[in-house]
């Protein structure tokens, strides 16, 4: 894979930074747009390195890493979806295949409804589709509590609650919010409030994404091939259950990928993930 070419794109309320990697051995594959939310391009470097037979596009979501957000800029699923459309237009290589992770997978479900001509195949990997879950009422209240905690107490206490939520291995009980508040220090998080309130995940994304409900009829009738994907690990976590709920919504079986929620990256938290095996599976799915 060649070194990525990095470009910027002015969009309403933000400046997006994206990367284009040219293949070592050009073939007849469509370009692949690999994206997440809030994960930025750096989170997909290991996966991109395995996909040397096609153009690979990565980007930083608005307000994240190298992409800036104007003071008046907004962050929501429809706005992220429009950003994806603008990046594909700017690259100018026609329709693309998409691997979308987590919040990026949820946002992409709005994208393919609004701009179906942009995408041939969308692999939506573990979208946290709270609105499709049987425990959606308590899950939405829990996520609203995390946002409120962030604005009231700062990053450490809110992120501790977020980690506790995403690690919970089953549907949330009605009394979930009655359990003891987690100590940020248990997760190596700061216990003091530094006064900053610029974390987009805790301050904005979590205020809007739990309310997003994909358009079932539009997705079922879409010309885009939509693959609902989950990791083989992760049990009953919220995001994995979201992937299964998407499969049920579409009337298809979920495709199981190696590893956990971030199975495409190996790091100190997930040393058993295998980006090579993940890329093999992704190629199989895109070719299917």
* Pair (108, 20) in one structural domain: yes
* Pair (220, 98) in one structural domain: yes
Of the residues 189, 207, 225, the one at which a domain ends: 207
**pLDDT in single tens digits along all 288 residues of the chain:** 568 999 999 999 999 999 999 998 877 899 999 999 999 999 999 999 999 999 999 999 999 999 999 988 889 999 999 999 999 999 999 899 999 999 999 999 999 999 999 999 999 999 999 999 999 999 999 999 999 999 999 999 999 999 999 989 989 999 999 999 999 999 999 999 999 999 999 998 999 999 999 999 999 999 999 999 999 998 889 999 999 999 999 999 999 999 999 999 999 888 999 999 999 999 999 998
* Pair (59, 88) in one structural domain: yes
* Pair (28, 102) in one structural domain: yes
What pLDDT digit, counting tens, does each position of 187-205 carry? 999 999 999 999 999 998 9
DSSP code string of the chain: -PPPEEEEEEETTEEEEEEEE--SS--SPPPEEEEEES--GGGGHHHHHH-TTS-EEEEEPTTSTT-EE-TT----HHHHHHHHHHHHHHHTS-SEEEEEEEHHHHHHHHHHHH-GGGEEEEEEES---GGGSTTHHHHHHHHHHHHHHHHHH-HHHHHHHHHHHHH--SPPPTTGGGSPPPPGGGGT---S--S----HIIIIIHHHGGG----HHHHHT-SSEEEEEEESS-TT-HHHHHHHHHHHHHTSPPEEESSSTTTT---SS-TT--HHHHHHHHHHHHH-
Residue 1's pLDDT is what?
A: 56
Residue 137's pLDDT is what?
A: 97
* Pair (62, 144) in one structural domain: no
Overall number of domains in the chain: 2
* Pair (193, 58) in one structural domain: no
Of the residues 207, 242, 268, the one at which a domain ends: 207
* Pair (116, 219) in one structural domain: yes
Its domain, for residue 240, covers: 5-129+212-287
């Amino acid at each position: 894979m060649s070194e990525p070419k990095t470009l910027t794109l002015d969009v309403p309320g933000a400046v997006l930074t994206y990367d284009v990697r040219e293949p070592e051995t050009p073939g007849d594959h469509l370009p692949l747009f690999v994206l997440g939310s809030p994960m930025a391009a750096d989170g997909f470097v290991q996966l991109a390195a395995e996909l040397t037979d096609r153009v690979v596009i990565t980007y930083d979501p608005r307000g994240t890493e190298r992409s800036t957000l104007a003071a008046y800029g907004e962050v929501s699923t429809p706005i992220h979806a429009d950003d994806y459309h603008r990046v594909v237009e700017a690259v100018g290589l026609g329709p693309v295949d998409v691997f979308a992770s987590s919040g990026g997978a949820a946002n992409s479900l709005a994208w393919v409804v609004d701009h179906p001509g942009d995408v041939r195949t969308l692999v939506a990997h573990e979208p946290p589709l709270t609105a499709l879950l049987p425990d959606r009422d308590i899950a939405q209240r829990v996520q609203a509590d995390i946002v409120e905690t962030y604005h009231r107490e700062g990053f450490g206490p809110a992120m501790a609650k977020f980690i506790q939520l995403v690690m919970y291995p089953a549907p949330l009980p009605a009394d979930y919010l009655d359990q003891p508040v987690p100590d940020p220090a248990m997760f190596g998080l700061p216990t003091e409030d530094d006064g900053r309130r610029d974390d987009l995940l805790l301050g904005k994304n979590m205020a809007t994404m739990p309310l997003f409900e994909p358009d079932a009829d539009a997705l079922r009738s879409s010309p885009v091939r939509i693959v609902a994907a989950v990791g083989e690990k992760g049990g009953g976590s919220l995001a994995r259950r979201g992937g299964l709920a998407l499969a049920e919504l579409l009337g298809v079986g979920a495709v199981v990928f190696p590893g956990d929620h971030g199975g495409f990256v190996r790091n100190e938290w997930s040393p058993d993930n295998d980006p090579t095996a993940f890329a093999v599976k992704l190629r199989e799915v895109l070719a299917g």
